[in-house]
C-alpha cells in the first residue's frame, strides 16, 4: 500500500464486512496521518521551512490536481484521508444483488472486504430498517457482484480480503465430489481479482490452483500467543501442546517449537459414511491420545471451530486422562449451529478453561461476553 498517496487506495466493504472494514480504515487513517506528519517534519528540517509552510505547499499541490474538485478545505490544516469507498447495495425480491459505486475509483487499488461467515442480521441500502440473514452463498455472490462493479468503474487492481476462505474445507476429493476450494479461487481469479488476502486457509494446496492470482495466507499465531501469555507462564514446564487431530499437527508443532514444549496428538477414527451435523451428532467413532497430559496445562490450536465436535471430544479425552487445565485457540471461530450452547455446558462441567479466538468472524455479545471466550 502507498500511504504517501492515500487517494490511490480504496476500501470497499460488502454488507457482511462493514464492521471489520471499519477497523481497517480507522487503522489506515492513523497510519496515513503518522506518516504524513513524519514527512512534514523531514521536509521542514531539510529545506529549513516552517512546518506550517510545508503543510500549505502540500495542500496547494493537492488542490492543483485535476481530480480535486472540492477547494473549500483549509490551506493550513492537515487533511484527513478517507479510504472508504461509498457504495449502495441492493437486494432484490428474488435474492439477486446489485452494487452501485458512489464515487470515482479509476486507476485505484481497491480492497474489497467480505465476511462470508457473518450470519447475523444485516441491513441493505435498498431496504432501510429491514434486516436480512445472508447465507455463505449470498455473501459470495454479493462479493462477485461488487468485484464486477469495481472493475467496471475503472479500478486498476482488485484485492479480495476474505478473513474466511469460502469452501476451504472442500480441498480434497472423496469419491465423485468436487474440489470446490480450488474452484472457488478460480472463480475469483476469473472475475478479475489479482490477490486474495485470507487467514489460516484450511489447506495450503489451494495456492496451487491459480495461474496469476496471488493468495496471501496470514496467520493468527502472534495474536494468539499474546493472549496465551496473559493466561499462563509460557516457561512453565507443565505446559504441553496437543494437536486435536492429525490435520492440525503442523500448526501445533509450530507452537511447540516456538515455546520449546513437548508435542502430543489426538487421533480420531471417523465413520465417513456419516456427516457431522453438531457437536453432539458427529462422525467420530473412537479417540486415541499420543502423549502424557496428567497434571499438565494443555494448549490446543486449530484453524477453525465449526460445530465444535472435534475440540469438545478432544477436551473430554484430555480431562479423562488427567489434564489439569485446557486452553484452546482457533483462528476462525465460526461457532456454527448450537456450538455456543455446547461450549457453555462443557465449561460448566469443567472440561476446559478458555477458548482463544480472533475477530476474523463477526460475533456479537452472545459469544464475546462469555467468561470462557477471549
pLDDT at 141: 96
Question: Which band of pLDDT confidence, cut at 50, 70 and 90, is reported for residue 274?
Answer: low
CA distance readout (Å), 47 to 33, 40, 41, 51: 21, 11, 10, 10
pLDDT in tens, 232-252: 999 999 999 999 988 889 999
**Signed CA dihedral, 284, 285, 288, 293: sign only:** positive
Q: How many CB atoms lie within 10 A of CB 7?
A: 14
The listed CATH number (2.40.50.140, 3.40.50.2020, 3.60.21.10, 3.30.70.980) that belongs to domain 221-368:
3.40.50.2020
What pLDDT score does 88 carry?
Answer: 97
Name the 3-class secondary structure at 318: helix
pLDDT above 90: percentage of residues in the chain: 65
| Distance in angstroms (rounded) separating the CA atoms of residues 16 and 30 | 24
Higher pLDDT, 350 or 58: 350
Reported as a single tens digit per residue, the pLDDT across 22-54 is: 999 999 999 888 888 888 889 888 888 888 888
Q: What is the pLDDT of residue 276?
A: 58
Mean pLDDT computed over 200-224: 89
Cell numbers at 240, concatenated? 504441553
Name the pTM for this structure.
0.87
Higher-confidence residue of 77 and 244: namely 244
Exposed / middle / buried, residue 189 (Cβ in 10 Å: 0-12, 13-18, 19+): buried
- Rounded Cα gap, residues 101 and 25, in angstroms: 18
Res 194 pLDDT > 50:
yes
Give the number of other Cβ atoms within 10 Å of residue 80's Cβ: 11
CA distance 344 to 148: 42
CA dihedral sign, ordered 148, 151, 154, 155? positive
Give the pLDDT band of residue 1 (cuts 50, 70, 90). Answer: very low
Which residues 6+ apart lie within 8 Å of 240 measured at CB? 261, 262, 263, 264, 291, 292, 293, 296, 297, 298, 299
Work out the average pLDDT over 286-311: 91
Domain edges within the chain: 1-164, 221-368
The pLDDT assigned to 169 comes to 86
C-beta of residue 243 within 8 angstroms of C-beta of residue 264: yes
Judged by average pLDDT, the poorest of 45-59, 88-102, 211-225, 314-328 is 45-59
Amino acid at each position: 500500500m502507498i500511504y504517501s498517496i492515500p487517494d490511490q487506495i480504496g476500501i470497499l466493504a460488502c454488507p457482511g464486512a462493514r464492521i471489520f472494514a471499519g477497523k481497517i480504515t480507522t487503522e489506515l487513517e492513523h497510519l496515513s496521518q503518522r506518516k504524513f506528519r513524519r514527512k512534514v517534519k523531514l521536509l521542514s528540517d531539510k529545506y529549513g521551512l516552517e512546518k506550517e509552510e510545508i503543510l500549505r505547499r502540500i495542500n496547494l499541490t493537492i488542490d492543483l490536481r485535476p481530480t480535486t474538485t472540492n477547494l473549500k478545505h483549509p490551506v493550513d490544516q492537515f487533511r484527513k484521508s478517507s479510504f472508504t469507498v461509498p457504495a449502495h447495495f441492493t437486494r432484490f425480491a428474488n435474492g439477486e444483488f446489485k452494487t452501485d459505486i458512489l464515487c470515482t475509483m479509476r486507476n485505484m487499488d481497491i480492497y474489497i472486504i467480505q465476511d462470508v461467515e457473518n450470519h447475523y442480521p444485516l441491513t441493505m441500502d435498498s431496504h432501510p430498517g429491514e434486516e436480512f440473514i445472508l447465507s455463505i452463498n449470498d455473501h459470495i455472490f454479493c462479493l462477485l457482484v461488487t468485484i464486477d462493479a469495481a472493475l467496471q468503474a475503472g479500478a486498476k487492481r482488485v484485492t479480495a480480503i476474505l478473513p474466511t476462505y469460502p469452501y476451504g474445507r472442500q480441498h480434497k476429493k472423496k469419491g465423485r465430489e468436487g474440489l470446490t476450494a480450488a474452484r472457488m479461487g478460480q472463480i475469483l481469479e476469473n472475475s478479475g481479482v489479482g490477490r486474495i488476502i485470507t487467514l489460516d486457509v484450511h489447506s495450503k494446496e489451494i495456492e496451487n490452483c491459480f495461474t496469476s492470482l496471488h493468495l496471501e495466507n496470514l496467520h493468527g499465531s502472534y495474536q494468539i500467543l499474546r493472549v496465551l501469555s496473559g493466561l499462563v507462564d509460557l516457561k512453565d514446564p507443565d505446559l504441553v501442546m496437543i494437536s486435536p487431530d492429525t490435520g492440525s499437527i503442523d500448526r501445533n508443532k509450530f507452537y511447540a517449537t516456538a515455546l520449546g514444549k513437548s508435542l502430543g496428538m489426538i487421533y480420531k477414527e471417523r465413520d465417513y459414511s456419516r456427516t457431522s451435523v453438531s457437536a453432539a451428532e458427529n462422525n467420530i467413532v473412537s479417540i486415541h491420545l499420543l502423549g502424557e497430559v496428567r497434571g499438565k496445562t494443555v494448549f490446543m490450536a486449530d484453524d477453525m471451530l465449526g460445530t465444535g465436535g472435534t475440540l469438545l471430544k478432544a477436551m473430554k479425552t484430555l480431562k479423562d486422562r488427567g489434564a489439569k487445565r485446557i486452553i484452546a485457540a482457533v483462528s476462525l471461530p465460526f461457532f456454527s449451529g448450537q456450538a455456543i450452547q455446547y461450549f457453555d455446558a462443557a465449561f460448566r462441567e469443567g472440561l476446559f478453561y478458555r477458548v482463544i479466538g480472533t475477530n476474523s468472524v463477526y460475533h456479537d455479545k452472545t459469544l464475546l461476553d462469555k467468561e470462557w471466550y477471549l
